[in-house]
Amino acid sequence: MRLTRKFIAALVIGVALVALVQGYLDYQRERELFDRQLRGEAAALGRALGRGVADVWQRDGEAAARQFLEVAATKSGRLQARWVWLDAKGRDEPRAPRAELEPLTRDEVVVVRDNTRRHLYTYIRVEVEEPRLGGIEIAQSLEQLDAYVSASLRTQVLGSASAVAIAALLALGLGVVFIGRPISRLAAKARRVGTGDLSGPLHLRQRDELGELAAEINLMCERLAEERAAREQATEQLRHADRLTTVGKLASGLAHELGTPLNVVRGRAKLILDREVEGPEIANSARIVVEQAERMTALIRELLDFARPRAPKKSPVNAPNLARRVCELVGTIARKGTITLVPPAPDESLRAEADDGQLSQVVTNLVVNAIQATPAGGTVTIATRVVDQVPPPYVGGTEQAWLAIEVRDTGAGMDEATRGRVFEPFYTTKDIGDGTGLGLSVSWGIIREHGGWIDIASLPGEGSTFTVYVPRGNA
């Protein structure tokens, strides 16, 4: 709404300035018009009185002329008129300003404003006696002009204030309807898009620039949704391919692992078939056959569960239990290479909100890589714990609790150049045919989608430690 307030403020200030200038001009015009009207009335009355006084003076004398002037001024009501002499001889004779009367001829009028006394003086030269010079002085009070100007000023102020108030109300209403609310909805939509929510198209009924912007944002969201769907499909295919690669590694070890129980089953079945066992031994042999069959079924089921694609779904995951399942799944590879796997101790408090299948894929990739990097007789240790830590800048956020899953090996370790590239797609240090270079890059993508990251600590000759940090969430 800040833009709306700025728009309203600018509009109100503009209207106020226009009203102020227009009011000032109207005020000056009316003032000058009224002033000219007063001057015109005084001049017309002065000429009429001058001719009347001159006629009466010549016909009936000075006394009659003065009486005529007094009666005329009394009838006007608003004016004060008196006879003045330019060459007054006594204090009782009113004196006229020489500069006003001397240059005048018959029927000429001069009007003088006296702002000190707040009067308008009109002088008319009247030729009645020679060689004396006299005339009529008409005094008009400017109070009427002042009252008119004050009333006009109040009217202008009220009119300007009303115009500004009406403009402010209209600007407020129209600004909120056509600018404030649409921009607020656009901002809310942009915030949702920023968080990854592309649903809910924004519909603005107005057909202006904001409406066009809303339509473009909706079109952008549709395109982003299509690109996201295609990217998610490609990512899932990549993860499934990596999962199948890991399954191939597990299957090669599983084939060897199934050899022993199959030989046991075959031997016990042959004993029963040849009737070489009798009585209780038959039941014991049958029990051994069932146990070995269940063992083989469990191994195959774990392998199939790991390979089967599924929709991502977050739920509370117990990290130690997940790590122990991974150890059972990759145990055949470890035993084949005479590598010791050390799973974490059970702990029900070490949980995180994550997708079980995806997190299992990450830990499996890390453990398989650790086994392959560890020489015969080495050890791969998995540890789980909760740490309070500030995430790296590319993750963002403040200090919080994270679930950490460590995979430590006693292999050859890595130099700095290798550590900087291990998460690149298709980068691998293994021999051709032993790896695709996708395992760590896929694992990195999965953990980043969970809001965490993977840290590496490794030096040449000192082994490597991969630590997965996952936010605990509501777990």
Q: Do 265 and 387 belong together in one domain?
A: no
Domain assignment present for residue 185? The answer is: no
Distance CA 344, CA 384 (A): 7
Is residue 333, in this structure, part of any structural domain at all?
yes
More confident position, 203 or 258: 203
**What is the arithmetic mean of pLDDT over 394-409?**
88
Same domain? For 305 and 360 the reply is no
Phi, psi for 119 (deg, rounded to 5): -135, 155
Per the domain annotation, does 419 fall within a domain? yes
CA 119 to CA 116: how far, in whole Å?
8
Helix, strand, coil % over all residues of the chain, rounded to 5: 60, 15, 25
State the pLDDT at residue 433.
Answer: 47
Structure tokens at 417: 């150049």
Across 170-197, average pLDDT: 76
CATH number at residue 242: 1.10.287.130
> What pLDDT was estimated at residue 420?
76
Query: Does some domain include residue 208?
Result: no
Residue 197 pLDDT > 80: no
Residue pLDDT, tens place only, 60-69: 887 888 888 8
**76 lies in a domain?**
yes
How large is the average pLDDT for residues 29-35? 77
Q: Do 354 and 233 share a structural domain?
A: no
Residues 9 and 78 in one domain: yes
How far is the CA of 449 from the CAs of 408, 418, 445, in angstroms? 24, 24, 6
pLDDT higher than 70, residue 137: yes
Q: Annotate 374-428 with DSSP letters as a single string.
A: SPTT-EEEEEEEEEEEPPPTTT---SEEEEEEEEEE-S----HHHHTTTTSTT--
Distances (CA, A) of 184 to 168, 196, 233: 21, 19, 34
Query: 439 near 456, Cβ under 8 Å?
Result: no
Highest-scoring range by mean pLDDT, 80-84, 93-97, 126-130, 291-295: 80-84
The pair phi, psi for residue 45, each rounded to 5°, is: -65, -40
Give the DSSP letter of residue 95.
Answer: B
Q: What is the Cα–Cα distance from 242 to 193, expressed in whole angstroms? A: 31
Please tell me whether residues 263 and 362 are part of one structural domain: no
pLDDT at 195: 75
Average pLDDT of every residue of the chain: 76
Q: Which of 309, 334, 358 is the last residue before a domain boundary?
A: 309
462: in domain? yes
> Domain range holding 231?
225-309
- Residue 86 sits in a domain of what CATH number? 3.30.450
| Sequence-ordered strand ranges (E) for 207-334 | 314-318
Do 361 and 336 belong to one domain? yes
Mean pLDDT of 231-247: 64
Q: Give the pLDDT mean for 332-354.
A: 87
Residue 126 shares a structural domain with residue 32: yes
Check pLDDT > 50 for residue 432: no
Residue 305 has pLDDT above 60, yes or no: no
Count of structural domains within the chain:
3
**161 to 5, 23, 165, 170, 342: CA distances (angstroms):** 19, 11, 6, 14, 85
Among 114, 135, 150, the domain-final residue is: 150
Crossing angle between the packed helical segments 356-373 and 439-449, to the nearest 10 degrees: 150
Q: How many CB atoms lie within 10 A of CB 358?
A: 22
Same domain, 110 and 252: no
Q: What is the pLDDT of residue 43?
A: 78
* Residue among 291, 290, 298, 354 nearest 322 (CA): 354
Residues 133 and 263 in one domain: no
pLDDT digits (tens, 9 = 90+) for 182-191: 777 777 778 8
Residues in contact with 401: Cβ distance below 8 Å, sequence separation at least 6, in sequence order: 386, 387, 388, 472
pLDDT of residue 239: 61
For residue 25 the two structure tokens come to 């001009």
Q: Quickly count: other Cβ atoms within 10 Å of residue 50's Cβ.
A: 23
Does position 358 have pLDDT exceeding 70, yes or no? Answer: yes
User: Does position 74 have pLDDT exceeding 80, yes or no?
Assistant: no
DSSP state string for 2-26:
HHHHHHHHHHHHHHHHHHHHHHHHH
Gyration radius (Cα) of the chain, Å: 54
Task: Compare 278 and 64 and report the one with higher pLDDT.
Answer: 64
Say if residue 259 is in the same domain as residue 387.
Answer: no
Q: What mean pLDDT is predicted for residues 288-311?
A: 64
Domain match, 260 and 342 both: no
| CA 400-404-409 angle, 5° bins | 150
Are 42 and 73 contained in the same domain?
yes
Does the residue 245 lie in any domain? Answer: yes
Among residues of the chain, what percentage have pLDDT more than 70? Answer: 75
Last residue of a domain, one of 129, 150, 171: 150
- Best mean pLDDT range from 237-246, 415-424, 454-463: 454-463
Picking from 72-81, 212-221, 451-460, which range would have the lowest pLDDT averaged per residue?
Answer: 72-81
Q: Is residue 163 part of a domain?
A: no
Q: Looking at the predicted structure, is the pLDDT value of residue 194 above 90?
A: no
d(C-alpha 206, C-alpha 215), whole Å: 11
* Stretch among 136-140, 270-274, 363-367, 409-413 having the lowest mean pLDDT: 270-274
> Could you tell me the CATH number of the domain that includes residue 376?
3.30.565.10
Q: Is 440 exposed, middle or buried (0-12, 13-18, 19+ CB in 10 A)?
A: buried
